[in-house]
Structures are given as structure tokens and as C-alpha cells.
């Protein structure tokens, strides 16, 4: 039976209708399906079964075989009223099959407070053409409950407080028109819950406080055209949960304070429209949560206060659209946003996360990592290959940036150097010049290690000259002044150099024929140590009074000291002016 019709009309004829399996009905229902121009789309024939006949079958505890039937105004509420049964007293239905049937009711088809104790329950291929459909507080046995390929044209669908056992619940390939679909406080037992390829129109779909237990849950390729999807306070068990390739339209998606337990959660390639998506306060005991290649629209994505301590959350190659993203005060084992475009504000002020992977991302807005009212504990931060067109808001010391980057055991020195270089530029643009210097030092150190490693890898013989050259660079550029970022460090190096040469002069005078001689006599009667200190000072500072002059090997040492002094004074000037100008 086609789903593509706008209206329909029913005619009941006093003609016998015989089903394919030999059942005979005294009347035939002719259902003409009409399009939006009131033209016939298809004509379907059904056996006509009056409600009172159906009620008598219930009285007699008969199996309800309603396949290929048209059922009008069926209501267990009416049945209870006519039989004098309490409004919430359960009605035992041994079993029911209503495949390819047609339901219509002015007041709604009502199976509320029904108890299906035996066998499967199937509405496969049926149409609920008019009125609400209620299975409120129904109890289902161990058999399968199937609404696959079913059409709900009009009104609301109510499964609130229903209880399922170990059987599967199948809504595969169904179409649900405008209305509210209510599964609040439903207990799905241990079976599969499947809404695969189900199409929801502008519905409010509610699974608030629903218990899915350990069964698998699948909304794979489901389509939501509007309204909202609310799983607030729901509980999932050990079964996997799949929304793969689901389309949410402009429906808000609410998973706040949901307990996911140990299942694997899959939103891969799902598509969200201009709607907000919230997992605020949700929890996962163990498992993997994946949004790989998903697409978001203009709404915000919220994982604030999420507790995923042992969960790997993966957004690899996801398109986040135009909304903000927040992981504020959340906890993860790992969070991957590899190869994503981050065009809007991203709050990564997580309470705890072992690994945050932002490699190969393109950032055009702000990534916020700076602690405010709580400590941020991130063991490893991977920025390899990031194109930073926006800003990263973080603090070198509070965020322990050096430690976070160096934890990347699989990254090369070149990759680490590039990450520190990028952070150096980021700190410069955000006015954090002290942090800029610290990042620059780490960049130069890792760049030097990368150059050495790559040179030796290219030709092992390069080690004979590369190691001495790098040792010299390490001593002069790094240790002497931290790459011109610390003038006090350079000043200290000058003092060390001055004292070192003074000591050399004392040793040379005591144990060699070299000497430092006064050209004007020795009116002050200076000792050997005093002469060495004085000569070293005027040589290091390139003053050169000429009242003392060296002889022997001290002449060559004095020349070297003059060069070192001139170099370190220039080095100090550069470092000092660099600090002042900023």
C-alpha cells in the first residue's frame, strides 16, 4: 500500500472478502487513496471488521488476527466502559497480528493498558489513517513488536510507560506525520529498538526518562523534518546506539543528563540542521562516541559538564557549521577534532582530558583553553598541521603548554617545532609576550634537534661536524641568552665569561712563562689575582687603557676574550632593546 496520498475515502459493501490465507469476512471495505487534487492514487480492498466483533474476540480470549482488515474506532477505553472494567485495569490480549491493515478513528485507536502475553505483535505495512494511536502503559511479552513499513497519518502516538520484555521493537521504514510521539518512562527490555529509515515529519519525539536497558538502539538513516528529539534523563545499557546518517532537519536534539553506560555510540555522517544539540551533563561509563563526518547547521553544540572519563569522543572531519561548540567543565579520555573546520567559538576548557587532538584543523575563530574558575587538566594537546587563522586563548603556565605538546611521543621534532612556532605567533597577537618568548625558545630548541636529526638521516657522515656545531649553538644561542629573550640571562653569562677568563689568566701566570705586565710600573702593588681581574675587565669590556699588557699565550687569550665580550655586549643590547620595545 502506497504512503503517497493526501486523503482517502472508505466505502463498506455487503460483499464477502476472502484473504489470501482463506479467512472470510461478510463485508468488504473499499479504500480509495487520493492525492492533493482529490484524484485517485490507488484503490485497496480490506475485510471489514466491526469493533463490537473485535471486542467479543477479546472476551473469548481469541487470538486477534486482523491482517488485511479495516478497523474503525477501536478503543480499549470504550471496551472497559462497556464491560464495567476499571480505567487502568489491564486487558489481556493473547496475541495480535494486523499486517497490511487500515485503522481509522474519530477519537483515536486505543490499546492503552493492554497486555500482550503471547507471541509476536505485528502492525507491519498497516496504516493508521486517522486519529491518535495509544499504547500507553501497555505490556508486551517476549515476542517481537513490529511497526515496520507502517504509516501514521494523523495525530499523536503514545507509548508512555509501556513495558517491553526481551523481544525486539521494530519501527523500520515507517512514516510518521505531524504530531507528538511519546515514549516517556518506557522500558524497552533487552531487545533491539529499531527506527531504521523511519521518517518523522514535524514531530516532537520524546524519550524522556526512557530505559533502553542492554538492547541495541538504531536510528540509522532516520529522518526528522522538524520539531524536536528529546532523550532527557534516558538510560542506555551495554548495547550499541546508532544514529548513523540520520537527518535531524531543524529539530533540536536533547541528550542532557543521559546515561550511556558501556555502549558504542555512532552519529557518523549524521546531518543536523539549524538546531541546538545538547549532551550537557550526560555520562558514559566506558565506550566510544563518534561523530565522524557529521554535519551541523547554525545551532550550538553543547557537551558542558559531560562525564566521559573512559570514553573516546571523535569528531574527525566533522563540519560544525555556524554554531558555537562548548566542552566547558567536561571530562573525557580523549577528544579528537582532527581535520575539522572550526569557524566559530570553541570552548575547550575541559576539567580533564588525556588527549585533545586538533591536528590538521583550520581555525578561524577563538579556541578557549585558558582556566578561569577551575583547573584545566589536559595531558596531551596535538596541534600538528593546524592552520591558525583565529586565536587560541591559553596561558603557558596555567595550561602547562610545554608539557602538553611534548607528550606527543609519535610526533617528530619538526612537528613539535611547528606547533611551538604557531603558539609563539598566537601569543604575540594576543599580547602575551612572556609566553611568546617561552614558546619561541621551545620552537628554536626543537628546530635545532630536527635539523640535526634530518641532516644525519640524510648522510650519517654529517654527524662528525653537526654535533660540534649544534653543541656550539646550544651553548651560545640557547644557554647564554635563551635566544635573546632574557637580557638578565645574557648579563649573567657576561659575568660568568669575565670570571672564566680571569681564572685562565691566573693559571697561565702561575704555571707558564706568560705574564701581564704593567707599562707604568706597579704603584698599587696588585697581586696576581688582582691583575688578572683588572686585565680581564678592561679586555672584556674592550676599554683597553694600556696600563697593563699581556705577553706570551695570554695575548691570544686576551684577543679571544675581547671578541667574546663584544659579542655578549651586543647580545645583551639586542635582548634588552627587544624587551623594552614590546
The CATH number that applies at residue 517 is: 1.10.287.70
The reply to whether 510 and 575 lie within a common domain is: yes
Question: Are the beta carbons of 385 and 421 closer than 8 angstroms?
Answer: no
Q: Which of 192, 134, 202 is nearest to 166 (CA)?
A: 192
Is there a single domain that holds both residue 491 and residue 548? yes
Looking at residue 578, what is its pLDDT? 85
**Shared domain check, 467 and 548:** no
Say whether both 428 and 458 belong to one domain.
yes
- 508 and 541 both lie in a single domain: yes
Instruction: Answer yes or no: is 158 within a domain.
Output: no
Q: Does residue 305 form part of some domain? A: no
C-alpha cell at 192: 533491539
Domain boundary among 454, 479, 504: 479
What is the per-residue pLDDT for 522? 67
In the chain, which residues have pLDDT < 50?
none
Q: Answer yes or no: is 110 within a domain.
A: no
Asked whether residue 174 is assigned to any structural domain, the reply reads: no
Say if residue 527 is exposed, middle or buried (CB neighbours under 10 Å; 0-12, 13-18, 19+). Answer: exposed
Q: Are residues 449 and 529 in the same domain?
A: no
What are the Cα distances from residue 552, in Å, to 166, 498, 533, 540, 561?
A: 100, 20, 18, 18, 15
The mean of the pLDDT values for the chain is 92
116 domain-assigned = no
Q: Quick one: 511 and 572 in the same domain? A: yes
Domain count, the chain: 2
Q: Which domain range does residue 540 map to?
A: 487-581
User: How many Å apart are CA 556 and CA 553, to the nearest integer?
Assistant: 6
* 474 and 539 together in one domain: no
CB 187 within 8 A of CB 207: no
In a domain, 545, yes or no: yes
The pLDDT, as a whole number, for residue 262 is 85
Instruction: Say which residues have a Cβ less than 8 Å from residue 582's Cβ, sequence separation at least 6.
Output: 433
| Confidence (pLDDT) at 13 | 93
For 498, the grid coordinates are: 669575565
The pLDDT value given to residue 581: 79
Decide which of 456, 479, 502 is a domain's last residue. 479
pTM, entire model: 0.86
Whether residue 250 contacts residue 227, with contact meaning beta carbons closer than 8 Å, is answered with no
For residues 421 and 195, give the distance between their C-alpha atoms in angstroms, rounded to a whole number: 49
- Per the CB < 8 A criterion, the answer to whether 548 and 520 are in contact is no
Residues 326 and 461: their CA atoms lie apart, in Å, by: 52
At 528 the pLDDT is 87
Q: What values do phi and psi take at 565, rounded to 5?
A: -60, -45
d(CA 57, CA 66) in angstroms, rounded, equals 11
Per-residue exposure over 56-72, b if at least 16 CB sit within 10 Å of its own CB, e if not: ebbeeeeebbbbbbbbb
Last residue of a domain, one of 442, 458, 479: 479
pLDDT in tens, 260-310: 988 799 999 999 999 999 999 999 988 899 999 999 999 999 999 999 999
User: Does 136 reside within a domain?
Assistant: no
Quick one: pLDDT at residue 524? 66
The three grid cell numbers given for residue 484, joined into one nine-digit string: 635573546
Q: Is the domain of 468 the same as that of 529?
A: no
Q: Are residues 522 and 574 in the same domain?
A: yes
Amino acid at each position: 500500500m502506497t504512503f503517497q496520498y493526501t486523503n482517502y475515502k472508505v466505502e463498506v459493501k455487503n460483499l464477502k472478502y476472502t484473504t489470501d490465507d482463506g479467512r472470510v469476512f461478510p463485508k468488504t471495505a473499499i479504500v480509495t487513496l487520493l492525492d492533493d487534487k482529490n484524484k485517485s492514487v490507488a484503490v485497496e480492498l480490506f475485510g471489514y471488521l466491526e469493533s463490537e466483533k473485535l471486542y467479543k474476540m477479546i472476551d473469548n480470549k481469541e487470538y486477534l488476527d486482523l491482517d488485511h482488515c479495516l478497523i474503525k474506532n477501536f478503543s480499549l477505553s470504550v471496551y472497559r466502559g462497556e464491560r464495567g472494567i476499571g480505567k487502568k485495569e489491564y486487558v489481556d490480549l493473547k496475541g495480535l497480528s494486523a499486517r497490511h491493515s487500515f485503522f481509522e478513528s474519530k477519537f483515536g485507536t486505543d490499546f492503552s493498558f493492554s497486555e500482550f502475553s503471547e507471541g509476536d505483535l505485528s502492525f507491519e505495512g498497516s496504516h493508521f489513517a486517522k486519529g491518535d494511536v495509544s499504547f500507553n502503559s501497555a505490556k508486551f511479552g517476549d515476542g517481537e513488536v513490529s511497526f515496520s513499513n507502517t504509516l501514521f497519518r494523523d495525530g499523536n502516538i503514545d507509548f508512555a510507560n509501556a513495558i517491553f520484555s526481551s523481544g525486539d521493537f521494530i519501527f523500520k521504514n515507517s512514516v510518521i506525520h505531524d504530531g507528538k510521539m511519546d515514549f516517556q518512562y518506557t522500558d524497552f527490555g533487552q531487545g533491539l529498538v529499531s527506527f531504521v529509515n523511519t521518517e518523522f515529519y514535524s514531530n516532537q519525539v520524546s524519550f524522556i526518562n526512557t530505559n533502553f536497558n542492554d538492547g541495541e538502539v538504531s536510528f540509522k538513516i532516520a529522518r526528522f523534518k522538524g520539531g524536536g528529539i528529546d532523550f532527557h534523563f534516558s538510560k542506555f545499557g551495554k548495547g550499541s546506539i546508532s544514529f548513523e546518517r540520520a537527518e535531524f532537519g531543524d529539530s533540536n536534539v536533547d541528550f542532557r543528563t543521559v546515561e550511556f553506560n558501556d555502549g558504542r555510540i555512532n552519529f557518523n555522517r549524521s546531518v543536523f540542521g539549524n538546531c541546538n544539540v545538547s549532551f550537557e551533563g550526560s555520562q558514559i561509563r566506558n565506550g566510544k562516541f563518534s561523530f565522524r563526518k557529521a554535519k551541523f547547521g547554525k545551532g550550538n553544540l553543547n557537551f558542558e559538564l559531560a562525564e566521559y572519563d573512559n570514553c573516546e569522543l571523535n569528531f574527525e572531519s566533522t563540519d560544525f557549521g555556524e554554531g558555537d561548540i562548548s566542552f566547558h567543565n567536561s571530562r573525557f579520555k580523549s577528544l579528537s577534532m582532527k581535520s575539522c573546520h572550526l569557524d566559530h567559538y570553541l570552548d575547550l576548557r575541559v576539567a580533564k582530558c588525556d588527549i585533545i587532538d586538533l591536528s590538521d584543523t583550520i581555525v578561524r575563530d577563538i579556541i578557549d583553553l585558558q582556566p578561569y574558575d577551575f583547573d584545566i587538566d589536559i595531558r596531551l594537546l596535538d596541534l600538528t598541521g593546524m592552520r591558525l587563522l583565529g586565536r587560541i586563548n591559553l596561558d603557558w603556565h596555567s595550561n602547562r603548554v610545554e608539557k602538553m605538546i611534548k607528550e606527543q611521543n609519535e610526533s617528530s621534532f619538526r612537528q613539535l617545532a611547528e606547533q611551538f612556532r604557531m603558539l609563539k605567533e598566537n601569543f604575540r597577537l594576543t599580547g602575551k609576550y612572556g609566553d611568546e618568548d617561552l614558546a619561541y625558545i621551545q620552537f628554536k630548541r626543537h628546530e635545532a634537534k630536527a635539523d640535526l636529526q634530518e641532516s644525519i638521516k640524510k648522510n650519517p657522515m654529517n654527524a662528525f661536524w653537526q654535533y660540534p656545531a649544534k653543541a656550539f649553538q646550544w651553548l651560545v644561542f640557547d644557554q647564554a641568552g635563551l635566544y635573546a629573550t632574557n637580557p638578565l640571562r645574557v648579563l649573567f653569562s657576561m659575568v660568568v665569561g669575565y670570571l672564566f677568563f680571569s681564572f685562565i689568566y691566573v693559571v697561565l701566570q702561575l704555571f707558564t712563562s706568560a705574564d701581564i705586565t704593567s707599562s707604568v710600573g706597579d704603584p698599587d702593588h696588585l697581586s696576581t689575582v688582582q691583575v688578572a681581574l683588572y686585565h680581564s675587565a678592561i679586555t672584556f669590556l674592550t676599554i683597553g687603557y694600556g696600563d697593563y699588557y699581556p705577553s706570551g699565550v695570554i695575548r691570544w687569550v686576551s684577543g679571544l676574550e675581547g671578541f667574546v665580550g663584544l659579542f655578549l655586549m651586543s647580545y645583551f643590547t639586542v635582548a634588552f632593546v627587544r624587551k623594552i620595545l614590546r
